[in-house]
Amino acid sequence: MAPMELPATHYVAFGGRLVECDVSDDASEGIFQDAMSVSRFQAAFSTQQPLMVGVDFEWKPDRGVENNPIAVMQFACWDTAIIIRTTGCSQLPNWLQKFLETGDDVIKVVASFDSADKAKLAMSFGWDFDQRAVKASYLDIADLADARDVPRGMLKMARHFHIPMQKLKSISTSNWARGGLSPEQRAYAADDAFFQLYLSGKLLTLGPASASEERLLKAWQVVSQGLEGSIKTVNNSAYQANFLALRDTVRDAVNVLSNALGSGGCTDLNEILKYKAVKKAVAAQKTSCVNVNAHFLRQNSDVFVVFFREGRLRVRLRVLEGEEEEEASAVADLQHSALNEEEVAALISEVQELLCAYEPPNNKKQRLPEPQWIPARAVLNRAQQVRFEACLRCEGSIESIETSYDSEDGLLLRMARHPRAPDDVKHMETCVERLKDLTEITSEEAKQRLAKDEKFMQLWSLLRTVEADSTEEHSIHRSLRARERIHVDAHRLATLATEMSRNVPWEEAKCKLEQVKWYRQVLASCLEGAGQTALANELDDCLTSIAKAWPDVEHVQPSSRKRRVYQQARSEAKRARTKGKGKAK
């Protein structure tokens, strides 16, 4: 297991003169020639040694088959870094080509400069490195590192020399072709070019392998004090604090998401980023922001295991050494212990409460609650699962908790009855009596009509799974009242149609009624409970209009004049309702 890559409390960065310009600007040539000229170097240090300049390029990340052109070229000497934006440039100006083609009086220090970089230069600007560059004037620090058994990569080289440099992947993979570079992009680009130059000398001091390297070391030593003077120390404690806080939040998120239904014991980056606590933690960062990405997860490899499954990057928590053995030992002891009646009751009660408290992660809130299957591991630790499974073997089944099994998620649990559920039987009796009184049918007939209403029965069954007097119960009650009201109005509609010499059974009346948009609007307003007189008049008009239009009722609507009157009445009722709620508060 790789150790955690904790960001340092301080890091070093380029602190010299930084200039950004566009390759098309008339002033760019003068700015560049002034800073990167051999004459300035020789005048500053009274030397005939070659000038050493760090050179690097950036471009918008290539996704898939993309091949984006170079968008930024950066150059750094001992005291100055120049960033040149090249977006939209298809051919480098002569002064920049001339610099890249200079001989060994100007040493261009690069990092891991290979055929891909050469191809990128050719594609971007039509400039062929192999044909036009003086190869002896280019020094690759990756080659120096290989010859000295120093790890490749600027960050690894910097660590080798105990230089606390920072390279954020979120910046390196950002859009370098944007209209203007961000402060973070400018700092990153300057650091890359400058520290390539700085590290070249550190590598050469480990022992020059040839006369040419001896010459390069002497050239670097000329500017070494100037290089040291251009390095600043940056306080990184805010970034470190954000990093550690986000690490804890993401760990909790991965734990919850990996135990959710269908997770298969792991999660992915998209789910982590959608997790409410993670979104809140990321948004709360005002400065020194930390991004949650694959690099962040790999930095925390002591906590997270990152892998690919079915072409997607997946994440799970790392099990610490000794944890599995310790848990297995505890579970083995429990498997041989029997539960008495009191312990069984206490365990069932405990599991019920845990199921009540569980909220599926990243799920949209539903208007009506529906009991969902929950992996046992999401609410129970391993020891609790073993005890509950033992309880199932003893009891056979548990009335208040349904169980199932999934090959990926293991034991699944679902709430069959909330420990503080309302009296659903009494509620059914009340509904039956109310329907009987409003339609003047028998209790048995009312009961049969409700039993045939699939939506009503579905809603009624949900009462067992919610807490009495909760928001969820009130929502179910409102929907049940709507179903009752539809039955009452369907009975009235069937009666009206019959009076108009149309023999309409109540079942057909109910089916047709639910298709009428006007009726659905009136029903919704009636259920709110305000402006009942006006709504009662509109409801009478609606049912009469439907009866007259039978059987082509789907597009029944009031006249334009009546529609305006009804809409105004509904609006006034809504305002009265809102005002009443405000006073209640």
| DSSP classification of residue 361 | T
What's the pLDDT score for residue 488?
A: 94
Place of tokens 């306080």: 235
Contact 145, 203 (CB under 8 A): yes
Mean pLDDT on 140-160: 95
Q: Does the pLDDT value for residue 585 go beyond 50?
A: no
Mean pLDDT on 384-413: 87
- Picking from 138-142, 202-206, 551-555, which range would have the lowest pLDDT averaged per residue? 551-555
Mean pLDDT of the chain: 89
Encode pLDDT of 182-235 as tens digits.
Answer: 999 999 999 999 999 999 999 999 987 799 999 999 999 999 999 999 999 999
What's the pLDDT score for residue 362?
A: 79
Q: If 0-12 CB within 10 Å is exposed, 13-18 middle and 19+ buried, where does residue 454 land? A: exposed
Q: Is 181 helix (H, G, I), strand (E, B) or coil?
A: coil
User: The tokens of 29 are what?
Assistant: 């040539």
Give the residue from 312, 320, 409, 315 showing the smallest Cα distance to 360.
409
Contact 374, 261 (CB under 8 A): yes
Q: What percent of the chain has pLDDT over 70?
A: 93
Contact 289, 183 (CB under 8 A): no
User: The tokens of 331 are what?
Assistant: 């579970």
- Sign of the torsion angle spanned by Cα atoms 514, 515, 517, 519: negative
Contact 486, 513 (CB under 8 A): yes
Measured between alpha carbons, how far is 374 from 378 in angstroms, rounded to an integer? 7
Position 352 confidence tier, pLDDT thresholds 50, 70, 90: very high
- Picking from 35-44, 222-231, 274-283, 362-371, which range would have the lowest pLDDT averaged per residue? 362-371
473 to each of 354, 358, 413, 465, 467, how far by Cα in Å? Answer: 19, 17, 22, 9, 7
Measured between alpha carbons, how far is 521 from 86 in angstroms, rounded to an integer? 61
| DSSP classification of residue 3 | P
Encode pLDDT of 520-545 as tens digits.
Answer: 988 888 877 655 777 888 889 999 99
Residues in the chain: 585
Other CB atoms within 10 Å distance of the CB of residue 109: 27
Measured between alpha carbons, how far is 547 from 519 in angstroms, rounded to an integer? 12
What's the pLDDT score for residue 521?
A: 87
Other CB atoms within 10 Å distance of the CB of residue 405: 9
Give one DSSP letter per residue of 87-132, joined into a string. Answer: TT-SS--HHHHHHHT--TTEEEEESS--HHHHHHHHHHH---HHHH
Q: Does the pLDDT value for residue 468 go beyond 70?
A: yes
pTM (2 d.p.): 0.68
Give the residue from 298, 68, 286, 275 showing the smallest Cα distance to 174.
68
- Picking from 205-209, 305-309, 419-423, 577-581, which range would have the lowest pLDDT averaged per residue? 577-581
Give the residue from 56, 98, 117 showing the smallest Cα distance to 81.
56
Place of tokens 């049912």: 543
Give CA torsion, residues 151, 157, 160, 162, to 10 deg: -170
User: The tokens of 309 are what?
Assistant: 């499954």
Q: Does the pLDDT value for residue 136 go beyond 90?
A: yes
User: The tokens of 497 are what?
Assistant: 């149609």
Mean pLDDT on 19-23: 95
What's the pLDDT score for residue 334?
A: 53
Q: If 0-12 CB within 10 Å is exposed, 13-18 middle and 19+ buried, where does residue 103 land? A: exposed
Please indicate whether residue 282 or residue 566 has the higher confidence score (pLDDT).
Answer: 282
What's the pLDDT score for residue 559?
A: 84
In sequence order, the 6+-apart residues with CB closer than 8 A to the CB of 527 are 478, 481, 482, 485
What's the pLDDT score for residue 524?
A: 85
The residues that bridge with 235 in the sheet, in sequence order, are 10
What's the pLDDT score for residue 337?
A: 64
Contact 143, 204 (CB under 8 A): no
User: The tokens of 515 are what?
Assistant: 């298709």
What's the pLDDT score for residue 324?
A: 55
Supply the angle between the helices 276-284 and 237-258 in degrees, to the nearest 10. 170
What's the pLDDT score for residue 415?
A: 92
Contact 291, 170 (CB under 8 A): yes
Q: What percent of the chain has pLDDT over 90?
A: 66
Q: Is 268 helix (H, G, I), strand (E, B) or coil?
A: strand
Q: What are phi and psi of 47, to 5 degrees?
A: -140, 160
User: The tokens of 501 are what?
Assistant: 């010499």
Q: Is 308 helix (H, G, I), strand (E, B) or coil?
A: strand
Encode pLDDT of 73-107 as tens digits.
Answer: 999 999 999 999 999 999 999 999 999 999 989 99
Domains of the chain: 10-234 (3.30.420.10), 238-317 (no CATH), 323-415 (no CATH), 427-584 (no CATH)
Mean pLDDT on 286-295: 86
Contact 566, 537 (CB under 8 A): no
Encode pLDDT of 357-368 as tens digits.
Answer: 998 887 766 666
Angle among Cα 37, 40, 44 to the nearest 5 degrees reads 145
Q: Does the pLDDT value for residue 4 go beyond 80?
A: no
Contact 409, 375 (CB under 8 A): yes
